[in-house]
């Protein structure tokens, strides 16, 4: 078939938490080989919290495309887009454009990001595999567990990881999390824009593949109240100078820059994060900034390997699962390199 089905994907205007939207466009070529072959498109912004009804047309500008891993044997693709105003300027909801500029400005520092996307699988209004009434056994045996009494949704998790790899997304691992039906995949390490784009695409694939299984994934930071772990998106960060000998000193200096910007970071680290950053369940309280080596009760953890080697990366544990990776990467670059 000399036509390609291109799924145009974009981030909408819902706040406090943006969601993904997509629609399919038939592109009349045998294979899309470069972005320039993908036309800009438009959509009804009044249906996505991005415009008023009277002036509702907004533009979709393709910025990255990957093979659609759900359509093996075809040339069909997934197309990530930025949302633009009719005059071609970035729309207010387009958080990628500011990251693009900041990343460009600091390109010589060779910053890398890796994000650990946690999520919770739901069937109807209950976490997958939870009893109809009451609760499963308390946490303890579920993290990285095995067996159908402790692990729910692995089939979807494994197909998702495979799909990401087939599409060329740099997924680097998955694990079952502390709360049953809670999972994680990791993306990276990659430069900011690539990592954040691939994370949004991996989220889209997770939701889309969930449709096949009748399972939805939520990124709410505290999907079940009480003595159950929240859901985060730990953000790992390094630069050329933190990865070089003496890098630990550079990381320690970064900690002081991050300390004075704590509130500004929390502002863009996801909605309802106050329910998650309590000081319990491997978090520091939302009002506190503290860092430590190997300390999972800190805001920022320096992995043991980094401390031992005297160089490497650090892990910001504050971002919630529902954060916008464009905003998280932007503020990290501004604070540490700005
Ligand atoms: P954790 O022990 O916190 O659960 P994970 O193995 O889940 O760690 O995730 C580690 C993350 O760190 C991955 O997303 C990976 O891409 C990222 N990472 C590894 N090395 C670097 C680096 N040098 N710079 C930035 N991120 C990195
Ligand atoms: Mn219509
Ligand atoms: Mn992890
Ligand atoms: Mn985790
Ligand atoms: Mn982590």
pLDDT grade for 1, boundaries at 50, 70 and 90? low
pTM of the model: 0.98
Q: Are 171 and 217 in contact (CB under 8 A)?
A: no
Indicate which ligand has the atom closest to the C-alpha of 313: 1
Which residue minimizes the CA distance to atom 14 of ligand 1?
114
The token duo for 36 is 């320039």
**Does residue 119 line the site of ligand 1, with CB under 6 A?**
no
pLDDT at site 54: 84
**Does residue 270 line the site of ligand 1, with CB under 6 A?**
no
pLDDT at site 157: 98
Atom of ligand 1 nearest to the CA of 238: 24
Indicate which ligand has the atom closest to the C-alpha of 172: 1
- Cis before 189 (ω within 30): yes
**Does residue 315 line the site of ligand 1, with CB under 6 A?**
yes
Atom of ligand 1 nearest to the CA of 189: 16
Q: What is the mean pLDDT of the chain?
A: 97
What value does the mean pLDDT take over residues 197-213?
Answer: 98
Residue 8 C-alpha to ligand 2 middle, in angstroms? 15
State how far the alpha carbon of 16 is from the alpha carbons of 12, 43, 220, 239, in Å: 11, 22, 12, 30
**Does residue 305 line the site of ligand 1, with CB under 6 A?**
no
pLDDT at site 254: 98
For a ligand 1 pocket test, name from 177, 202, 236, 304 the mutation site with the most ligand atoms within 8 angstroms of its C-beta: 236
**Does residue 238 line the site of ligand 1, with CB under 6 A?**
yes
The token duo for 18 is 């943006």
pLDDT at site 26: 98
Q: How far apart are CA 240 and CA 252, in angstroms?
A: 15
Residue 233 C-alpha to ligand 4 middle, in angstroms? 8
pLDDT at site 55: 84
pLDDT grade for 318, boundaries at 50, 70 and 90? very high
Q: How many CB atoms lie within 10 A of CB 105?
A: 13
**Does residue 188 line the site of ligand 1, with CB under 6 A?**
yes
Percent of the chain with pLDDT over 70: 100
Per-residue model confidence as pLDDT tens digits over 25-61: 999 999 999 999 999 999 999 999 999 988 899 999 9
Per-residue model confidence as pLDDT tens digits over 100-152: 999 999 999 999 999 999 999 999 999 999 999 999 999 999 999 999 999 99
């Amino acid at each position: 078939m000399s036509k390609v089905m291109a799924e145009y994907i974009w981030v909408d205007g819902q706040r406090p938490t943006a969601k993904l939207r997509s629609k399919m466009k038939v592109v009349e070529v045998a294979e899309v080989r470069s972005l320039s072959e993908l036309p800009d498109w438009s959509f009804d912004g009044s249906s996505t919290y991005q415009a008023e009804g009277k002036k509702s047309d907004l533009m979709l500008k393709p910025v990255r495309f990957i093979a659609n891993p759900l359509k093996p044997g075809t040339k069909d693709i997934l197309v990530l887009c930025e949302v633009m105003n009719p005059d071609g300027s970035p729309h207010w909801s387009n958080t990628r454009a500011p990251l693009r500029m900041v990343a460009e400005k600091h390109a010589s520092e060779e910053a890398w990001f890796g994000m650990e996307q946690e999520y919770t699988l739901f069937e109807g209004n209950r976490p997958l595999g939870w009893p109809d009434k009451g609760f499963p056994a308390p946490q303890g045996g579920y993290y990285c567990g095995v067996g159908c009494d402790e692990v729910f949704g692995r089939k979807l998790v494994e197909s998702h990881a495979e799909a990401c790899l087939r599409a060329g997304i740099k997924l680097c691992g998955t694990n079952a999390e502390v709360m049953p039906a809670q999972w994680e995949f990791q993306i990276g390490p990659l430069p900011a824009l690539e990592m954040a784009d691939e994370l949004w695409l991996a989220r889209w694939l997770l939701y889309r593949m969930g449709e096949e299984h009748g399972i939805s994934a939520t990124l709410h930071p505290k999907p079940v109240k009480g003595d159950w772990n929240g859901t985060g998106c730990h953000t790992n960060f390094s630069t050329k100078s933190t990865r070089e000998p003496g890098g630990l000193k550079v990381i320690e200096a970064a900690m002081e820059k991050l300390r004075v910007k704590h509130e500004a970071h929390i502002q863009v680290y996801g909605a309802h994060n106050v329910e998650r950053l309590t000081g319990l369940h491997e978090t520091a309280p939302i009002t506190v900034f503290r860092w430590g080596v190997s300390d999972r009760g800190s805001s920022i953890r320096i992995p043991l390997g980094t401390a031992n080697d005297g160089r490497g990366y650090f892990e910001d544990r504050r971002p919630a699962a529902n954060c916008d990776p464009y905003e998280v990467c932007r503020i990290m670059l501004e604070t540490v390199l700005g």
